Amino acid sequence: MTFSIHGLAVARGIAIGRAVLVASSRVDVAHYFIEPSQVESEIDRVRRGRNAVVDELHRLQQTVAQLGPKDASHELKALLDVHLMLLQDEEMVEGVKHWIRDRLYNAEWALTTQLEIIARQFDEMEDAYLRERKSDVEQITEKVLRAMQGQLTTGLPLAATTARKVASSELQLEDTDVPLVLVAHEISPSDMLQFKQGVFAGFVTDVGGKTSHTAIVARSMDIPAVVGARTASQLVRQDDWIIIDGDAGVVIVDPSPIILAEYTYKQRQLELDRGRLARLLGTAAVTLDGEKVELLANIEMPEDALVAVKAGAAGVGLFRSEFLFMGRLGHLPDEEEQYQAYRRAVEGMGGLPVTIRTVDIGADKPMDSTFLDGSHLNPALGLRAIRWSLADPSMFLTQLRAILRAAAHGPVKMLIPMLAHLSEIRQTVALVEQARAELRREGQAFGDVALGAMIEIPAAALMLKTFLRYFDYLSLGTNDLIQYTLAIDRADESVAHLYDPLHPAVLRLVADTIAECRAQGKEVSVCGEMAGDTGMTRLLLGLGLRSFSMHPAQILAVKQEVLRADTSRLAPWAQAVLAHEEPGSLLAD
Ligand code: PEP
Ligand code: MG
């Protein structure tokens, strides 16, 4: 039966494919595809995890038996028996093997997928006692997952390496060319990176806002995505056919042939539109009145540099270096590893400038989902970004040294996130100087870097003169600037309707930052999602912005807007928008 689910439109286009569910689990697990040669060792990992739990339950049984009949509860004994029985359950064991063998899921993913299937069967049972057994299955699966956590994985390490590209034909679906779409409650940034290599044609998540990192990475992959779809991961089943309409924020499950035909047609039209845009690749980004505009790329991994070059980016305006730090169970990349990664990005850009932002770990980008960093109270306001870096100066110095060394191989700019205090600015500047002095003393090659600050906290936007005394350029992080100005958690779908880039207060801070930089002859760019939103291009041009940094996939569409714009006419209009109570009403035309 066809039904639709509504969420937030975050990455454009249409995807049609079979659902691959990533079940949520109370134990955080990684999701990745294994090589066919690793199938047996993955099955063995599950077996060893299960055996460890069986041994533990046997030990408990003995303890219970030793207690006198008075203390030994029958219920406890019965419970242990049930758990042991469930561990041997044929459906569970065979199901897990199926996901590993036929779909090449890593062991933990296979286990949680099978758990989800069995849990749903329990939910549908009429008998209340049997229905309650669901929590027993959940408990023992959790135990096995925990037992496996101590084991060495034979699969791909997390974000440290590039995930292998898995063609759908390797997944042994009946129809080998069928595209796959991922449906999950939530996808961690490090899992997202694993999936970045093109396995999936689209994403759907229950949670998340328009500028949550799941949405940002989906946009960077240029595939349709819907977030904030609330109960999607419960309503969709493994292998269901689904359509993701990334423009409308709608997911259609089990579409009828007529709906399918309609969306297949729309999909083709979108491909034609893209083909037309591709003609702008070699065209310079200059407005009708001759203003040159710099269109830069946002990247997450060094390999993305090639995508940026292909999209015609004039450089990298934001390299989110934190993605190198994620999913490593707290083992941070050392100076050499970071240097090599930054160097690859710099060399990949072939002489075009690369802006490397120092690590922005925290909030909805935890270093590791299993790594407790103490920022859980109010993560967006906690130990995040530069605060995290300054909390461990030697770790920060390692990154600063690596960036300076990479600058010996091409033009590099350094960018500092989340600054708000003069003391943070001073400490940062002093540490950059210390890193330079150390490298000089050691005779290590390093390059000159311009030092920039992100303006993403209202406090920073209200003390621009101070910032401009210390920094060579500024970059507006509008994703966070909106979040902190309006007190709206950018990852929370329940307040997503209030996350408004056109709020007069947000526009005022953006406009003042651009104006102050221009007045002082300093460079300024926007690297938040606003820069890639074609609905905002004319306004930003009118406010004087000449440098935009966005996902490579958005560059051509923004360029088209630039080519049609006349800044001499847009400037007075932008001032009128700024002065209006409801700026959005002037943008609608
Ligand atoms: C921003 O806040 O706008 C930004 C570019 O940084 P991030 O999205 O990585 O927080
Ligand atoms: Mg930010």
Which of 211, 526, 551 for mutating ligand 1's site (highest number of atoms within 8 Å of CB)? 211
Q: Output the residue whose Cα is nearest ligand 1's atom 10.
A: 480
With a cut of 50, which residues of the chain have pLDDT below it? 152-174, 370-375
Phi, psi of 14 (to 5 degrees): -125, 130
| 9 alpha-carbon distance from chain centroid | 15
Phi, psi of 70 (to 5 degrees): -70, -45
User: Is the Cβ–Cβ distance between 109 and 32 less than 8 Å?
Assistant: yes
Calculate how far, in angstroms, residue 320's C-alpha sits from the geometric centre of ligand 1. 9
Listed residue (535, 551, 13, 9) closest to 270, CA to CA? 13
Q: Output the residue whose Cα is nearest ligand 1's atom 1.
A: 477
For residue 280, count other CB atoms closer than 10 A to its CB: 17
Calculate how far, in angstroms, residue 492's C-alpha sits from the geometric centre of ligand 2. 15
Output the CA–CA distances (angstroms, integers) from residue 457 to 234, 464, 518, in the order listed.
37, 11, 20
pLDDT in tens, 78-114: 777 888 888 888 888 899 999 999 999 999 999 988 8
User: Is the Cβ–Cβ distance between 196 and 163 less than 8 Å?
Assistant: yes
Q: What is the 3-state secondary structure of 266-300?
A: HHHHHHHHHHHHHHHCCCCCECCCCCECEEEEEEC
Measuring from each residue's beta carbon to the nearest atom of ligand 1, which residues come in under 6 Å? 318, 320, 360, 456, 477-480, 527-528
Q: Output the residue whose Cα is nearest ligand 1's atom 8.
A: 479
The string of DSSP codes covering 103-158 is: H-B-HHHHHHHHHHHHHHHHHT-S-HHHHHTHHHHHHHHHHHHHHHHTSPP-S--S
Q: What is the 3-state secondary structure of 560-575?
A: HHHHHCCHHHHHHHHH
Phi, psi of 11 (to 5 degrees): -140, 125
Phi, psi of 313 (to 5 degrees): -65, 145
Calculate how far, in angstroms, residue 183's C-alpha sits from the geometric centre of ligand 2. 26
Calculate how far, in angstroms, residue 480's C-alpha sits from the geometric centre of ligand 2. 5
Residue 377 has what pLDDT?
Answer: 76
Please report the atom of ligand 1 found closest to the CA of residue 480: 2
Please report the atom of ligand 1 found closest to the CA of residue 298: 5
Calculate how far, in angstroms, residue 415's C-alpha sits from the geometric centre of ligand 2. 11
Select which of 31, 83, 185, 213 is catalytic.
Answer: 213
Which of 320, 323, 547, 554 for mutating ligand 1's site (highest number of atoms within 8 Å of CB)? 320
58 in catalytic set:
no
pLDDT in tens, 145-188: 888 876 544 333 322 222 333 333 334 444 557 889 999 988 87
Listed residue (314, 259, 358) closest to 552, CA to CA? 314
Residue 72 has what pLDDT?
Answer: 52
Please report the atom of ligand 1 found closest to the CA of residue 529: 3
Strand partners, 225: 11, 203
Structure tokens given for 484: 């902190």
Which of 10, 219, 322, 360 for mutating ligand 1's site (highest number of atoms within 8 Å of CB)? 360
517 in catalytic set:
no
Provide the pairing of β-strand 225-227 with 449-455.
unpaired
Rounded to whole angstroms, the Cα distance separating 279 from 556 reads 9
Calculate how far, in angstroms, residue 211's C-alpha sits from the geometric centre of ligand 1. 8
Provide the pairing of β-strand 412-416 with 316-320.
unpaired
For residue 202, count other CB atoms closer than 10 A to its CB: 28
Ligand nearest to the CA of residue 322, numbered in listed order: 1
User: Is the Cβ–Cβ distance between 404 and 435 less than 8 Å?
Assistant: yes
Select which of 185, 503, 527, 551 is catalytic.
Answer: 527
Q: Output the residue whose Cα is nearest ligand 1's atom 4.
A: 477
Structure tokens given for 361: 């770990």
Residue 173 has what pLDDT?
Answer: 44
User: Is the Cβ–Cβ distance between 252 and 243 less than 8 Å?
Assistant: yes
